Amino acid sequence: MQDLLKKHFGYEQFRPLQEEIIKRVLNKENSLVLMPTGGGKSLCYQLPAIVFEGLTVVVSPLISLMKDQVDQLRANGISADFINSSLAPQEISEIEKRVISGVVKILYVAPERILLPGFTDFLQLINVNLIAIDEAHCISEWGHDFRPDYRNLTILRELFPDIPVIALTATATEQVRTDILGQLSLEDAKVFISSFDRPNLTYRVLDKRDLYGQLFDLLEKHRNESVIIYCFSRKDTEKMAQVLTIRGFKARAYHAGMESADRTQIQDLFIKDKINVIAATIAFGMGIDKPDVRMVVHTDLPRSIESYYQETGRAGRDSLPSECVLFFDPADQRKHEYFINMMEDELEQEKAWEKLEQVLKFGELRDCRRKYLLQYFGENYQNKNCNACDLCLKLASAIEDKKYDHELFDLLKELRKQIADQLGMPPYVIFGNKTLQEMSTYFPQSSTTLLRITGVGNQKLAQFGQIFLDLIKQYSLRKGYKEELPKRELNLGMTHYQTLDLLNQKLSIEEIANRRTCVPGTIIDHIEKIVKKNPDLDIEYLRPDLKRLDKIKEAFEKSQTWNLTPARDLLGDEFSFDELRLARIFLQK
């Protein structure tokens, strides 16, 4: 699996829970996956899709995002297509022919297509191996984005009862999780809950006194970076874009009242870095997977904590430092009150009042905002100071990484933009900012060392490697820089330090997992990273039984790799993946 991970996606190792989830999918077992935005949910079905012989069907409401997702998969050497209302009948017919021929590995479809005449007949002609349901919270009336079309997905369970289903979401309370499992008849599914913490995001709430003056100061810090500004009404977005344009920012408005073609054009301009500020209503974002958004601003109160978490989650998907700013004025609740009072359903109205009250509490907090967000989703946050919200920092600001060569980084970004413009695709599909920053840190001079850069796989090396190497070589020669080997230094986030605090208290892995409301596998992943950063850490109290450790050591030696799967295949089900991972930490120390 790790060979496929590097070859197609350019990563050396899995993120927390990914390997365990993928293994379950490959065993054809059902799963419900909760991971924060940017946590790597898509990989949990994309990698199994490569392994399976047949087709993986991905149901997603994000129509405008489908093309970008397919472009990214194709750039990674994976055959993918999408079918939605943006395509002409002839185009759909051509795609269906490709799918039936067996060429396509992943097919994205919108939920409303499932009940269209003939579509389920078409699916039954195909060897479907996996069904992935993205944005699964849309099936629940208790969620913040209920979509009735999602209720029709039960027909897929009826048509393909023996096909594994993986449901995925970034935002779901315990009530919503229970509803998802019930609605999709996934009572036997294993629920994987990753931490909702986004350590690279700084949360700030500012008293709304001089909105535009305050906003201009913030935007100057992000002058050439991507920013999303959420406004309450369509009129507000248009005024905001107009004011920002006059001020010299490349800004456009975006809202549901615009023609579909205009919205598509603005999305395209944004993801291709032709404009860098979007003033939008909440309609924007459902369908935008831009990894390098450096700031998300709310000029008014969001509808709910779920909405706020999802909307701010569009910042920093590339794991680089980003900020989320809410301009807070309690009087803004009147705008929401008007619409809540218009609701006819009493239960719906009651839920809306409750959600608004939770948003007001968030704005009026006197202690850690991160703690409030995580506790809302049922995660127990132990730290007294998150060091990444205005209340913990007092004066929070985005932290800039000074380690890479900024001049080379800018040159690589310009080269990436030129290639992207020629190919008609977003720049991040070529390489993400994190990849370019690593190139600007290590100055790779050969294909071998370029492959060691995060985000560079065999497919992208073959397609784009040489032109990037040529630029790096020219720059390095001019500056007198030499190639350095990526050391894969691990930067610990706040979530790792929370685990470290509990390790120092000599708590067991199970106790730490319970305290932090996550699975033991996540804690073992934290320990692995912490030990690599601090090899002298005393974790002897966690050392596995000597006899079992010897057996595991023998299995690793026989398989001649530190990868878990070959060793587990030799040992059998008596040894869990978690036990093998913990043993590997001690064997590698």
For residue range 484-503, list pLDDT tens digits in order. 765 544 455 557 767 887 88
Q: Which of 354, 302, 352, 298 is nearest to 327 (CA)?
A: 298
Asked if residue 208 and residue 181 are part of one domain, the reply reads no
Structure tokens at 326: 């809410």
**Alpha carbon separation from 101 to 1, 53, 286, 347, 383 (Å, rounded):** 26, 12, 32, 49, 54
Q: CA 554 to CA 573: how far, in whole Å?
A: 16
Q: CA 432 to CA 419: how far, in whole Å?
A: 13
User: Considering the domain boundaries, does residue 263 fall inside one?
Assistant: yes
- For 10, residues 6+ apart whose C-beta sits below 8 A from its C-beta are 76, 435, 453, 454, 455, 456, 457, 460
User: Considering the domain boundaries, does residue 398 fall inside one?
Assistant: no
Q: What's the one-letter identity of residue 519?
A: V
User: Considering the domain boundaries, does residue 399 fall inside one?
Assistant: no
CATH code at position 60: 3.40.50.300
Q: What's the CA angle centered on 18, arms 428 and 282, to 5 degrees?
A: 50
Among 175, 193, 211, the domain boundary falls at 193
**Alpha carbon separation from 122 to 52, 90, 92, 127, 533 (Å, rounded):** 20, 15, 12, 11, 52
Asked if residue 420 and residue 357 are part of one domain, the reply reads no
Please, where are the H alpha helices in 184-250?
211-221, 234-246
Asked if residue 378 and residue 302 are part of one domain, the reply reads yes
- For 120, residues 6+ apart whose C-beta sits below 8 A from its C-beta are 114, 155, 159
Give me the pLDDT at residue 263, please. Answer: 86
DSSP 8-state code for residue 368: -
Give me the pLDDT at residue 295, please. Answer: 97
Task: Look up the domain containing 527 and give its range.
Answer: 494-588
Asked if residue 261 and residue 114 are part of one domain, the reply reads no
Asked if residue 411 and residue 387 are part of one domain, the reply reads no
Low-confidence ranges of the chain (pLDDT < 50): 395-402, 488-490
User: Considering the domain boundaries, does residue 486 fall inside one?
Assistant: no
Asked if residue 443 and residue 361 are part of one domain, the reply reads no
CATH code at position 498: 1.10.10.1390
What pTM does this model have? Answer: 0.65
Asked if residue 570 and residue 462 are part of one domain, the reply reads no
Number of domains, the chain:
4
Helix (H, G, I), strand (E, B) or coil at 69: helix
User: Considering the domain boundaries, does residue 233 fall inside one?
Assistant: yes
User: Considering the domain boundaries, does residue 377 fall inside one?
Assistant: yes
Is residue 44 a contact partner of residue 488, using CB atoms and an 8 Å limit? Answer: no
556-559 long-range Cβ contacts below 8 angstroms, 24+ apart = 556/584, 556/587
Asked if residue 207 and residue 168 are part of one domain, the reply reads no
CB neighbours of residue 305 within 10 Å = 20
Helix (H, G, I), strand (E, B) or coil at 486: coil
Asked if residue 139 and residue 50 are part of one domain, the reply reads yes
Q: CA 526 to CA 531: how far, in whole Å?
A: 9
CATH code at position 418: 1.10.150.80
CB neighbours of residue 108 within 10 Å = 24
- For 152, residues 6+ apart whose C-beta sits below 8 A from its C-beta are 111, 112, 114, 115
Residue 236: phi and psi, rounded to 5, are -65, -40
Asked if residue 184 and residue 42 are part of one domain, the reply reads yes
Q: What's the one-letter identity of residue 141?
A: E
Among 148, 171, 193, the domain boundary falls at 193
Asked if residue 35 and residue 159 are part of one domain, the reply reads yes
Is residue 130 a contact partner of residue 163, using CB atoms and an 8 Å limit? Answer: yes
Asked if residue 29 and residue 136 are part of one domain, the reply reads yes
User: Considering the domain boundaries, does residue 558 fall inside one?
Assistant: yes
